[in-house]
Amino acid sequence: MLSVADTGHGIDSEVRDELFTPFFTTKREGCGLGLTIVSEILTNHHLPFTLQNREGGGAEFRVTFT
């Protein structure tokens, strides 16, 4: 498993369903392709992944290698 975590405020529930949508961004100068590209690569290689809020704050992205 590969885990990438941060200590930010976590994922807002209002944007959670849009995070992997092409060109969706919450950043002023973002293009909204990063998570879309990552999810496509992982899906094409049949690698399960999750993105969730961490208990105590922040978010965590996990990729499971089988």
pTM of the model: 0.83
Q: Give dist(CA 25, CA 44) in Å, integer.
A: 23
Give Cα separations from 42 to 5, 37, 48, 55, 63 (angstroms).
18, 9, 7, 25, 8
Give Cα separations from 62 to 3, 28, 29, 45 (angstroms).
4, 26, 26, 15
Q: pLDDT digit string (tens) for 30-60?
A: 999 999 999 999 999 999 999 999 999 999 9
**CA Rg value for the chain:** 12
Domain ranges of the chain: 2-63
> Does domain 2-63 fall into CATH 3.30.565.10?
yes
Average pLDDT over residues 11-34: 94
